Amino acid sequence: MRNFCKKFINTSNKSMRFLYLLFSFLTINVLSAQNYYLYVASESDDTVSLLKFDGNMIKEIKRINVGFYPTEVEGPHGITVDPSGDFWYVTLAHGNPFGKLIKYSTKDNTVIDETTLGLFPASMEVSKVTGFIYCVNFNLHGNMKPSSVSVIDAETMTEITKIKTGSMPHGSRISKDGLKQYSVAMMSGELFEIDALSLNVSRILNLEKNSGKNHSKMKMSEKQMNHSVVKPTWVIPHPTKGLAYVAGNGSNEIIEVNLDKWMISKRIKVEKGPYNVEISPNGRYMIATLKGSGETAI
Amino acid sequence: MNKKISIFLLCINFCFSQDKSIISNLENLTLNMGEVFKPKSQAINSDGSAVKCVKVIYFNKKGVFSTAKSIIFDREKGTLQANDPGTHEVVAVCIDSNGNRLTKTFNVNVNYPKIKNVKLLTDQKSIYVGNYVKLTFEVTDEFDNKRIIDYWNYDKAQRYFANVGVNLTSSNDKIRIDSSNNILALEEGNTSITANFDGVTDKIDIYIQKNPISELNLISDNSNVKTGDVVKFDVIALDKKGNKLNDMPVEYSFTGRSFDKSSLASGLILEDGRFVGDIPGKYVVTARVGNITSSKIINVFPRNVKREVVGIGEGLVNDKHTSDFWVFEGVDGGDYAVTGTWGADGKAYFWDVSNPSNLKKIDSVQVDARTVNDVKVSQDGKICVISREGASNRKNGIILIDVTNPGDAKIISEYTKNLTGGVHNVFIDNNHIYALSNGERYYILNIDNPLQPTEVGMFEVGKEGQAIHDVWIENGIAYSSNWRDGVYLVDVGNGIAGGSPSNPVSFGNYSYDSGAHHATFPYKSKSTGKFYTVLGDEIFPKGVNPNGTNETAGFLHFVDFTDTKNPKEVAKYELPTHGSHNFWIQDDILYVAMYTGGLRIVDLSGDLLGDLYKQGREIGYLLTGNPKGYIPNDTMVWGAQLYKGHVFYSDFNSGLGAAKVLDDKPDNSKTNQYVE
């Protein structure tokens, strides 16, 4: 919204009538718009495609080469668009050795700025409250040890802090109110909640079945890094309810977590290998990719 | 209609927010090292009324990367701590109840730590009238951190002296101290120098001797040399009675004029008296001890090593990029090559190169990868190993291929354990494969049974942020190229450090400031017997340009590793505006892929010192851009290999090529068009 309003700054000296007409035009345009734009990262090709969907057809309208080494695969992995729609961000997983976060303009898809993050930076999202980007350092090919969530100030592209979480964190998603960030640790089988304002881990939930451990009261160093059976790969908070859904890639289930009680409220059996989970903005539908069976479930 | 109103109100809100600002106790803040401070900030409107911040978040504008710990934050306690002296930017972000952000950057000054102790040192045994006194400052601060300000590293001294009150004085007029704190001995006798660092002092007593030399003779083994030849100068110093004086503090310098009036004389002379001329001309080399000098004239003639380099054959690959290659003798005695492909369909091509003017593609394999970055073949010509990156199942790893009949290459096995992060480079040596893993370390695999490679060892630098780009094996020593950590020499069977493939033992390391160390070639000079590791950079200063010429930078660093415990960087090969990639050295000749600068061939004979390119050591070059290339006419040479008298190369845009260095000198008849 910040940048949306910014566009109107230039018109602030014009007459109120002009503003009204402009707002009207924009609103009508929004309501009648049939075009949707998507950015898609191609991990092994070091490219990002801009797709246009008009309600019937989807087509690639631009392909953007990303990265810094023409002769090395840098692996664009996570991609997100700023709530204002003015910028998009992509993580490059492979650096030497740390990966990068690159900021682009949606206007002309040119690079604006960059910063270095941790090992294999992956999924991320921007909080509408703080304006910060919360990005997991997946460390996909590293040793089984706790990794982190990087918090980046999108305005200055500064990595503000690294918050220690679990082993192979993935699926960074922000609550609707912008105040909580959720990620799962794939190899330690945990759900992490980070307070978007205090920049600390506020709660940890063990997602394994038959686990009696209360991880939230344990220090990270005290925990044994056992290989998770659930292998959670993604988490999405519900847009209207106090629930979050976790893809249990190893246990072939979608796990419903009651965020108020901070406990697992349901385990939904699905086909093999759920990986990504998203929920429609109205909260009515969940879509999950089933990597093992090569299907998409709704 | 409601929507329109709300957008309008939001705009009003934003417009107002432009008049808000942050006031903070960070303003004009000065801290001492180690001091912990609790910042307090408040957003206010232009009329001074308070704006409620739900939260104020602070951060160091340098970020949290390992090199930026100057100001760190304890977010639970809400404090910051000063760790490095200097001025640092701290950003305060106020987030109000509507989710609007307001930011302000504050300069926080951190005082240099108080100095506890200063020590003045010199290693000069004798100081004579007319010589400079070479002082070293050893400064210990209140945290017991020691800072050595060496005589030669004045860049560091200047930065430090600008922040600390430094004053040098002498007890009498026997020395003169200039504005840069250089100390010149003027008169015989005792004097003392006192250094005052913010009130902490130390004194050093110096005896300036009368110069005992009455005659100084500068000698060298040669007066007529070629550009790039290293001339070692020595002096014979005699006293009044004609007695020889040893260990005199000699200072060397030179002047010169180039033979070509359109050029400028240039060269280098070291403290130990080694001189090299870059440009043909007459040079006057001078040795000085105090006010006694001796000079000698050196004529430096053109090196005259230029030769014609011609393209012999091309194996065009223009539907995809080509990566690395390897030329080898097959079990049938024929000559073959394998090339990788980049960002494509996982293919590796096999070539018959027995006739370099007719490079024939004879087979290919396709594996699950986007990039087959590296390819190598065993010494016996039987097994080829190729690396995988971008595999669809993310398992990557390596593929072993039976190349006993290169025209019918057969995949033997796939190996992915610990290599899922992608293998960028590989090497094969004595039935062992050295495979990079995720750009962090390399694993050593035994392939006695190529159907089932077995992991026997692993080497990693063991530092935070360790990274590796390449590994090369020669004589049982693995040379890994580790970006900012430089080259590591690891015994994997040589015996120098008791290592083996299952017990790799590191015994040597050299790194340099740019941190761009990408490839290593070990090289023992045939002409001098010196042992070098040649360390290549890889730099793309402007990132990726997939449709045109990429800008490249970086050069080759020549490090004299004859004494493995005391490596010294002595020379460089830098081609202006073009960066280095892979290279090969044989019989004192360098064959280097300079990416956009083409294939370059450089004379490395004799001792190596200084700027090899400037010295006219380049024998010749070949630009490999092809009108039918993946990017037409775009030269982007990846690697070079001398094989049976031909220089083979791979080009990112055009595939495999073969060149020949002829005995003929290049035709320069059109160079000076107006000279009859």
**pLDDT tens, residue by residue, B20-58:** 899 999 999 999 999 999 999 999 998 889 999 999 999
Looking at this predicted complex, what is its ipTM? 0.81
Instruction: Please give, rounded to a whole number of angstroms, the shortest distance from the CA of A149 to a CA of chain B.
Output: 12
The pLDDT of residue A72 is above 60: yes
Structure tokens belonging to residue A293: 């069976």
Residue B10 has its nearest CB partner, among A1, A71, A129, at A1
Instruction: Please give, rounded to a whole number of angstroms, the shortest distance from the CA of A126 to a CA of chain B.
Output: 13
d(CA B72, CA A258): 35
A12 CB neighbours in chain B (<8 A) are: 11, 15
Instruction: Identify which of B39, B61, B40, B43 has the alpha carbon closest to the alpha carbon of residue B98.
Output: B43
A67 CB neighbours in chain B (<8 A) are: 543-544
Burial pattern B158-174, b for ≥16 Cβ within 10 A else e, equals eebbeebebebebeeeb
In a domain, A87, yes or no: yes
Amino acid at residue number B254: F
The count of other CB atoms within 10 Å of the CB of residue B247 is 8
Same CATH topology for B215-301 and B309-661: the answer is: no
Q: Which one of A10, A71, A110, A200 would you mutate to disrupt binding with B, by most B Cβ within 10 Å of its Cβ?
A: A71
CATH number of the domain to which A125 belongs: 2.130.10.10
Instruction: Please give, rounded to a whole number of angstroms, the shortest distance from the CA of B515 to a CA of chain A.
Output: 10
Q: Say whether A142 and B438 touch across the interface (CB within 8 A).
A: yes
Q: Say whether B91 and A69 touch across the interface (CB within 8 A).
A: no
Q: Is B249 on the interface with A (CB under 8 A)?
A: no
Q: Say whether B99 and A23 touch across the interface (CB within 8 A).
A: no
Query: Alpha carbon of A53 to those of A37, A58, A61, A281, B365: distances in Å?
Result: 6, 4, 10, 18, 38
The domain limits of chain B are 2-110, 115-209, 215-301, 309-661
Q: Say whether B65 and A159 touch across the interface (CB within 8 A).
A: yes
Question: What is the pLDDT, as a whole number, of residue A1?
Answer: 30
Residue A297 parent element (H or E): strand A295-297
Instruction: Please give, rounded to a whole number of angstroms, the shortest distance from the CA of B461 to a CA of chain A.
Output: 13
Q: Which of A107-121, B157-171, B509-523 has the lowest mean pLDDT?
A: B157-171
User: If you measure CA to CA, which chain A residue comes closest to B463?
Assistant: A97
Above pLDDT 70, what percent of chain B?
95
d(CA B231, CA B492): 38
B73 CB neighbours in chain A (<8 A) are: 161
d(CA B65, CA B236): 55
Question: What is the pLDDT, as a whole number, of residue B68?
Answer: 61
Q: Say whether A73 and B370 touch across the interface (CB within 8 A).
A: yes
- What residues 89-108 of chain A have any CB closer than 8 A to a CB of chain B? 94-98
The pLDDT of residue B435 is above 80: yes
d(CA B428, CA B415): 14
Residue B438 has its nearest CB partner, among A43, A44, A141, at A141
Amino acid at residue number A191: L
Its pTM surpasses 0.80: yes
B624 confidence band (pLDDT: 50, 70, 90): very high
The residue to which tokens 């017990």 are assigned? B503
d(CA B78, CA B61): 17
A23 CB neighbours in chain B (<8 A) are: 4, 7-8
- What residues 100-119 of chain B have any CB closer than 8 A to a CB of chain A? 100-101, 103
B579 CB neighbours in chain A (<8 A) are: none
Q: Is A27 on the interface with B (CB under 8 A)?
A: yes
A155 CB neighbours in chain B (<8 A) are: 101, 103
Q: Which residues pair with B108 in a beta bridge?
A: B88
The pLDDT of residue A127 is above 60: yes
CATH number of B215-301: 2.60.40.10
Residue B229 φ/ψ, nearest 5 degrees: -70, 135
Asked if B181 contacts B133 with a C-beta cutoff of 8 angstroms, the reply is: no
What's the length of chain B?
A: 676
Structure tokens belonging to residue B291: 């006010």
List pLDDT tens digits, range B337-387. 999 999 899 999 999 999 999 999 999 999 999 999 999 999 999 999 999
Cβ contacts from A onto B, under 8 A: 154
Long-range CB pairs of B500-503 (<8 Å, 24+ gap) are B500/B457, B501/B432, B501/B444, B501/B446, B501/B456, B501/B457, B502/B444, B502/B456, B502/B457, B503/B457
**Full DSSP string of A137-156:** E--TTS-SS--EEEEEETTT
CATH number of B309-661: 2.130.10.10
Beta-carbon contacts of residue B467 (< 8 Å; ≥ 6 apart): A95, A96, A97, B439, B440, B482, B483, B484, B485
| Stretch B294-304: mean pLDDT | 97
- What residues 344-403 of chain B have any CB closer than 8 A to a CB of chain A? 370-371, 373, 389-392, 394
Instruction: Please give, rounded to a whole number of angstroms, the shortest distance from the CA of B660 to a CA of chain A.
Output: 26
Pairing state between β B568-573 and B86-96: unpaired
Q: Is A19 on the interface with B (CB under 8 A)?
A: yes
Number of structural domains in chain A: 1
Question: What is the pLDDT, as a whole number, of residue B11?
Answer: 36
Q: Is A275 on the interface with B (CB under 8 A)?
A: no
A197 CB neighbours in chain B (<8 A) are: 54-55, 57, 95
In a domain, A77, yes or no: yes
The pLDDT of residue B333 is above 60: yes
d(CA A87, CA B236): 71
The pLDDT of residue B118 is above 80: yes
Residue B64 has its nearest CB partner, among A43, A75, A162, at A162
User: If you measure CA to CA, which chain B residue comes closest to A13?
Assistant: B15
Residue B546 has its nearest CB partner, among A23, A70, A75, at A70
In a domain, A283, yes or no: no
d(CA B275, CA B254): 9
Instruction: Please give, rounded to a whole number of angstroms, the shortest distance from the CA of A86 to a CA of chain B.
Output: 17
Q: Is A112 on the interface with B (CB under 8 A)?
A: no
d(CA A237, CA A180): 9
Query: Alpha carbon of B530 to those of B222, B272, B626: distances in Å?
Result: 21, 18, 39
User: If you measure CA to CA, which chain B residue comes closest to A150?
Assistant: B64
d(CA B409, CA B401): 6
Instruction: Identify which of B234, B438, B245 has the alpha carbon closest to the alpha carbon of residue A73.
Output: B438
Q: Which residues pair with B457 in a beta bridge?
A: B444
Q: Say whether A156 and B61 touch across the interface (CB within 8 A).
A: yes
CATH architecture of the domain with range B2-110: Sandwich (2.60)
List pLDDT tens digits, range B241-284. 999 999 899 999 999 999 999 999 999 999 999 999 999 999 99
Asked if A103 contacts A154 with a C-beta cutoff of 8 angstroms, the reply is: yes
Give me the domain span that covers residue A144.
37-229
B93 CB neighbours in chain A (<8 A) are: 130-131, 153
Question: What is the pLDDT, as a whole number, of residue B189?
Answer: 96
The pLDDT of residue B205 is above 50: yes
User: If you measure CA to CA, which chain B residue comes closest to A115?
Assistant: B63
Instruction: Identify which of B347, B362, B366 has the alpha carbon closest to the alpha carbon of residue B315.
Output: B362
List pLDDT tens digits, range B209-235. 999 999 999 999 889 999 999 999 999
Question: What is the pLDDT, as a whole number, of residue A220?
Answer: 47
**Topology classification of domain B115-209:** Immunoglobulin-like (2.60.40)
